[in-house]
Amino acid sequence: MSYHIGIVVSRFNEEYTEALLQSALKELTKQAVSVVRVPGAYEIPLQVQRLAKSKKFDVVIALGVIWQGQTSHAAEIGRAVTDALMRITLDTGVPIIHQVLGLKTDAEARARCMGKKLNRGIEAAHAAIEMAGVNQSKITFQKGS
């Protein structure tokens, strides 16, 4: 089955976010995909909300990288994005696949964004297809024993 999938990706830390995007796109070749680029992770939820409210998408993927530094700023951005994405999911009924990653090292970023085993772009694509199907499936009831 083919689904309409929106992807919102931040340009900040583009080396990594573009790798996430390309990994996801390789897995979504049989799907109709629209990509929206935003400056940074904090800007992701507004565009995710716009896509979800449009009713044109079965699922939306959020891709970004936040470097965890020595201050609380990154954690605050990460929490704000996470909370907003969950709210959008619940408010619109559109599944949002959250892959805005909080990372500490270059090695960790390369493994999650560019590697094969832990690649979050690939995982996001697989989760998007699964959740689009689940969200469109008929709810059935089984008799208890």
Q: Which residues are known catalytic residues? A: 73
Tokens of 86: 């969950």
Task: Name 87's Cβ contacts closer than 8 Å, sequence gap at least 6.
Answer: none
